[in-house]
Each structure stands twice: as structure tokens, then as C-alpha cells.
Amino acid sequence: MAEQNNGTHKEENNSRTSHTTEGQHAVASRESQLRPANGQDTYSFKSYDKMSKTVIEIKDLNIYFGATHALKNVTMSIKQNSVTSIIGPSGCGKSTLLRTLNRMHEISGGVTMTGSVVFEGNEITSVDATELRKRVGMVFQKPNPFPSMTIMENVVAGLRFNGIRSRSILKETAEKCLIKAGLWHEVKDRLKEPALKLSGGQQQRLCIARALAVSPDVLLMDEPASALDPISTAKIEELIFELQPNYTIVIVTHNMQQAARVSNETAFMYIGKLIEFGKTKDVFSNPKNKQTEEYITGRFG
Amino acid sequence: MYKQFRYAKNWMMIALCVISALLALVPLAYILTYTVVHGLSALNWDFFTNLPKPVGETGGGIANALVGTLIMLLLSSVIAIPIGILSGIYLSEFGNNKFGSTIRFLTDVMNGLPSIIIGVFAYTLIVVPMKRFSAIAGAVALAILMLPIIIRATEELIKLVPSHIREGGVAIGIPRWKVTLRIILRSALPGIITAIMLSVARAAGETAPLLFTALGNRFWQPRLDQPISAVSLQIFEYAKAPYEDWHAQAWAASFVVIMLILVFKIIIRIVAKGEIKSAA
């Protein structure tokens, strides 16, 4: 079902088909803007192993907030079109790990990172952060639509503020993404209304649509449904299921049942360490690690 | 017994507060009535449309002064608004270091500077090199007056915008400076506009900064590089003079200025209320 053709890589162009009608030229122009920060003039995608089809490879990742050692030697790989959930008790470093994947940890200063995170063959610290974030988008726990903007302006913000101004492309992309986010029918008549007038669940789907508008490959979701009521939560989970064939999704959740429902790979973390990582059904029914079993059966956390 | 004494004390304190409040209003009421009573004789349509006439001739007006004030306010806004907003953005985004605190402190000092010192500064900076008094010098002096208000307001308002808005913008690949300018500034804009209008209202009434910079002018002179008239300067000149009809004109001009600032501030309040409603 994956529309992405990622088996072959040319030296300068990714032959992956665009999965929105943003326009081939927009995809190509965006890709031509991708330049490693060290000034190389070609952005060469190294071909990765077709068998594992890993999108993000994390090796020995350590994160320090000043003196606090928040992530300790995390090593895992995230596969194409998987839904990977990161579970664990509060403070175990799940959100920190997620935020590292698109370099959001750099926004608040004083964070040191060692180890490597490789996205599509390139070390994330060696490419432009803004370009990385267009490919690895993020949705947050508390819905955060831009306050002084309408619904339509919110959805296309990522495109408009990156130079794509053509109204037809913006309208088309907005419609596609709102449909993908399951919000189109509820807002199609009121696109010019302020975004803050929507309910919490609608705002969160709006934020998802906004993140999808820039055509990322990976969608990071930091507890996307924890601030929502059960019905909205169910809608978000359904959304993840619908998005999965076209995106790689990494979701942090403190709700184990949600992890069991939506993900096909699960990572269990505890106090900064990755304790166990494997297929969801294996981790939940047959955990290899004792701590995993204790967390899942509710002995702590 | 004690209860009655307590009640009496209570009423006494309330009475004290009310009397104090009324006392505080007395100067304002006095000024308003005095200006109306003494200036009414000179207040007519000619007053707004005529140029100042020589002593003894009737029908002099403050037309050039009104235009001069307007020109200088516009020019000082053009100078102060961009510098003020960008400084405020710097302080809120990158100002958490020693340099930022120094700037913040100096801005607060500037806020309290006597306006005549600002005028002397503008004199040294603009009038001396240009070898003439000018509207530009007056506008620069007023801009220096307006800057601290705009800078502090911009900084505080941007800080009020929650950080998850900035994160949301950055997380979808919008460059950080664009997030600040297009998204965060946009949400802070209503408050910043209010602050700008307040600073304009303050600059409109200032006299001392214009004494050695714009100098004043009894003729129609809208050029920027020549001495220009201003309402506050005209009031000063007329009040100093020994002529009765000039005194009446000074009162009338004072009344006009007070009314203009009052109306302006009412507009500011209405606009601010509207913003609070739309932001809610």
C-alpha cells in the first residue's frame, strides 16, 4: 500500500513519488533546497538497505540537559511506514527522544547531544534543521493552532512561510490535508473562521493537517490524544491507522492500551534507557525484559 | 459599643478614600474649566484654519501648529516604530544575557529622562551639524521619547505569547525568524498597536524636546529641514507673551490639545477592548 518508491536513489534526486498534489515542482524545489549545513553542494542520499528499509537509525544517543543525563545510549531503528510507539513511565525520556528526532531539543538552549541519528542516510546534525523539520514533522500534546490566524491560514502556514504562494496549490493542499486529517467535512464551510474557535479535538486534527501540509516523511506525535476526550482520541487513533501506509509515524504515549491499539512496533523506556524494542505484540504478550513485564502488568509506573 | 466604634472607623476610612479621589480629580476639573472659560473667546473656526497673526490683529490661529505637530508625530513614528519593535523582538528572543539586561535597564532609564535633556541631545545630534533648526530634529527628539514605551511593550507582549506556539511553527519546518515575525508578532500586534498609540499620545503633548529642535514658526512651513511650528510650542510662546489676546489663544490651544488627547485615548480604549474581545 505504500505509495513511496524508495528502493533506488539517484545521486541528487529522490525518485520517490510525491504523495500529495503539492505539485512535482514543489517537491523538486524543496529537495533542491536541501543542503547539508557543512556547505556540500550536492545532497546525496545514500541508498540504504532495502531489506530493513530503515528511515531513522539511532545509535548510542545521549542527551544531557546541563548535568542531567536524560537519554542514555539509546539505540534503535525506525522502519519505513511503521507506527512505532514509545512507552514508559513519566520522566523516562520518551518526549526527549522524540524531540531529538527532528532537532527540537535545540530550541531550548543548554542541551548536549552525543551519538548519531541518521535520517535517510544523513546525520541529522549535518543538515539544515529547518529542512529536516520539513521532512520530519511534529504534533504536540496540547493542540497549538496559530492564534491570530484562520483555519485555512493555519493549514497552509508551513507552505506559505516557505515561499509557496500560489493560491490554487495552497487550496488544493489544504483540502487534501484536511481530508487526510479527517477534519474537512467539519470545517469546509468555515475555513475563514479563527482557528481557536474549534474544539480541542478539532484543533488537534488541524495541527495534524498543518503538519501534513509540508509533506513530511515522518510524523512525530507527542501524546497527541492525551489532552482530548475519548471520542476525539478514537478519531486520532483512526487517523493514525489511515495515515500509516503513506507515512512513518512515531508516537509517544503514556497510555499502554493506546500503544497496543495503534502501533506495530513498541519501545519501552525507563529512566533514560531503552529497555526493550520490538514488535508490539511481542513486547506486550511476551516481553523479554523483566522491567517491561512489570510496567505492562502495572506493577509500577 | 465597640461595634459602633468599628463601624464609625470604617465609614471614616471610606470617606477618606472618596475625598482623596475627589481631590485627585480637582486639578483636572480645574484645568478643563479654566481652559474653557478663558479660551472660549478665541475658539472658533478661524482658530483652526488661520495662521498666527501679528499682535493686535484679530483672527490668528493655530493651523500651522496643528499641521506641524502632525508632521512631526508622523515622522517620529516612522523612526521609532521599526526600531522599537525590532529592539523589542531582540530583547524577547535573544535578550536573556548580560547585553540584553543592560539594554533593558538603559531603556527604563530612557523612559524616565527629563524631556528637555532629550531635546538638548537632539540639538547636539541634529541641529548643530545641520546648522539649522528643523522638523527632523524635533521628530528625532520625539522618537527618542517614544522608543522606550514601544520597546518595553513589544518585549512584554511577545513574551506573553505561549512558547508552544513558537514550537508549533518551528516543528513544521518554518524558519525561526519567520515564526517570530509572521506568527508571534502577529498575535502580539494588537497590544503593540495600543502601545504605539499611547506613545504617540504622549509625544503629542511634549514641549521641552521641541524647544531647541523644531524651534517653532509663525508661518506656514511644512518643509522638514526648516523650523516648524507645533501646538505645544505655540502655547508656550503665547503664554510667555504679555498680550491678552495671545493669552486667550494659548488657553484655546491648550483646550484643543487636551481634547485631542482625550479623544485619542478614548479611541485607544475602544480599540483595545475590541482586541481583548477578539483574542478571547
Chain B hits for A119, Cβ within 8 Å: none
Q: Are B21 and B235 in contact (CB under 8 A)?
A: no
Phi first, then psi: give them for residue A216, nearest 5 degrees.
-75, 165
Nearest CA distance, B158 vs chain A (angstrom): 13
Least confident range from A67-76, A199-208, B44-53, B156-165: namely B44-53
Per-residue model confidence (pLDDT) at position B257: 87
- Total domains in chain A come to 1
Task: Examine residue A281 and state whether it is found in any structural domain, yes or no.
Answer: yes
- The CATH architecture assigned to B48-279 reads Orthogonal Bundle (1.10)
Task: Examine residue A2 and state whether it is found in any structural domain, yes or no.
Answer: no
Return the bridge partners of A276, or none.
A268
Residues 6+ apart with CB under 8 A from B208: B114, B115, B116, B118, B119
Instruction: Return d(Cα B40, Cα B30) in angstroms, integer.
Output: 15
Average pLDDT in the B13-40 region? 91
End-to-end alpha carbon distance in chain A: 37
- The residue that leads in pLDDT, A22 or B121, is B121
Long-range pairs for B218-223: beta carbons < 8 A, 24 or more residues apart? B218/B51, B218/B52, B218/B64, B219/B51, B219/B64, B220/B51, B220/B63, B220/B64, B221/B64, B221/B68, B222/B67, B222/B68, B222/B71, B223/B135
Average pLDDT in the B244-249 region? 84
Per-residue model confidence (pLDDT) at position A209: 94
Write out the DSSP string of B141-195. HHHHHHHHHHHHHHHHHHHHS-HHHHHHHHTTT--HHHIIIIIIHHHHHHHHHHH
Q: Are B169 and B183 in contact (CB under 8 A)?
A: yes
A140 to B182: CB separation less than 8 angstroms, yes or no: no
Per-residue model confidence (pLDDT) at position B50: 80
Per-residue model confidence (pLDDT) at position A52: 54
Task: Examine residue A18 and state whether it is found in any structural domain, yes or no.
Answer: no
Selecting from B166, B172, B187 the residue whose C-beta is nearest the C-beta of A158 gives B172
Q: Which residue in B142, B141, B135, B138 sits closest to B225, CA to CA?
A: B135
Nearest CA distance, B91 vs chain A (angstrom): 16
Q: How many CB atoms lie within 10 A of CB B128?
A: 10
Q: Which of B172, B178, B187 to substitute to test the interface with A, most A CBs within 10 Å?
A: B172
Instruction: Give the HSE-up count for residue B116: Cα atoms under 13 Å, Cβ half-sphere.
Output: 1
Q: Which three cell numbers stand for residue B69?
A: 505637530
Selecting from A135, A137, A147 the residue whose C-beta is nearest the C-beta of B187 gives A147
Chain B hits for A214, Cβ within 8 Å: 172-173
Percent share of chain B, pLDDT over 90: 49
Per-residue model confidence (pLDDT) at position A12: 37
Does pLDDT of B241 surpass 50? yes
Residue A206: CATH number of its domain: 3.40.50.300
State which H helix or E strand residue B109 sits in.
helix B98-111
Query: Range of A183's domain?
Result: 24-296
Per-residue model confidence (pLDDT) at position A119: 92
Per-residue model confidence (pLDDT) at position B256: 86
Instruction: Return d(Cα B228, Cα B216) in angstroms, integer.
Output: 5
Per-residue model confidence (pLDDT) at position A297: 87
Least confident range from A12-16, B70-74, B195-199, B233-237: namely A12-16
Place of cell 547531544: A113
Residue of B nearest to A210 (CA): B172
Work out the mean pLDDT of chain B and round it to a whole number. Answer: 89
Q: How many CB atoms lie within 10 A of CB A113?
A: 17
Going residue by residue through chain A (301 aa), what tens digit of pLDDT does each one get?
444 444 444 333 444 444 444 445 444 444 444 434 444 332 222 322 334 588 899 999 999 998 899 999 999 999 998 999 999 998 888 999 999 998 998 887 789 999 999 998 889 999 999 999 999 999 999 999 999 899 999 999 999 998 888 999 999 999 999 998 889 999 989 999 999 999 999 999 999 999 999 999 999 999 998 888 888 898 899 899 888 888 999 999 988 889 998 998 999 999 999 999 999 988 998 889 898 988 988 887 6
Q: What is the pTM of this model?
A: 0.75
Per-residue model confidence (pLDDT) at position B277: 62
Per-residue model confidence (pLDDT) at position A45: 28
Please give the DSSP secondary-structure letter assigned to residue B53: -
Q: Are B248 and B239 in contact (CB under 8 A)?
A: no
- The residue that leads in pLDDT, B55 or B21, is B21
Q: How many CB atoms lie within 10 A of CB A39?
A: 6
Residue of B nearest to A213 (CA): B172
Instruction: Return d(Cα B227, Cα B89) in angstroms, integer.
Output: 35
Q: Which three cell numbers stand for residue B87?
A: 529592539
Chain centroid offset of residue A165 CA: 25
Selecting from B164, B172, B189 the residue whose C-beta is nearest the C-beta of A133 gives B172
Using DSSP bridges, classify how beta strands A54-65 and A111-119 pair: parallel, antiparallel or unpaired: antiparallel
Phi first, then psi: give them for residue B228, nearest 5 degrees.
-135, 155
How would residue B278 be classed by pLDDT, with cut points 50, 70 and 90?
low
Selecting from A138, A161, A216 the residue whose C-beta is nearest the C-beta of B174 gives A161
Classify residue A11 by burial, with Cβ atoms within 10 Å: 0-12, 13-18, 19+: exposed
Per-residue model confidence (pLDDT) at position B279: 54
A148 to B172: CB separation less than 8 angstroms, yes or no: no
Per-residue model confidence (pLDDT) at position B220: 85
A207 to B170: CB separation less than 8 angstroms, yes or no: no
- Is B173 at the interface with chain A, CB within 8 A? yes
Selecting from A139, A147, A162 the residue whose C-beta is nearest the C-beta of B165 gives A147
- Name the strands in the sheet holding A83-87, side by side, starting at the edge strand that comes first in the sequence: A136-139, A218-222, A248-252, A83-87, A265-270, A273-279
Place of cell 519567520: B178
Instruction: Return d(Cα B154, Cα A25) in angstroms, integer.
Output: 39
B173 to A104: CB separation less than 8 angstroms, yes or no: no
Q: Are A263 and A85 in contact (CB under 8 A)?
A: yes
Q: With helix as H, strand as E and coil as C, how does A19-47 read?
A: CCCCCHHHHHHHHHCCCECCCCCCCCCCC
- Is B183 at the interface with chain A, CB within 8 A? yes
Q: Which three cell numbers stand for residue A215?
A: 509533506
Q: Are A270 and A88 in contact (CB under 8 A)?
A: yes
Residues 6+ apart with CB under 8 A from A15: A5, A8, A9
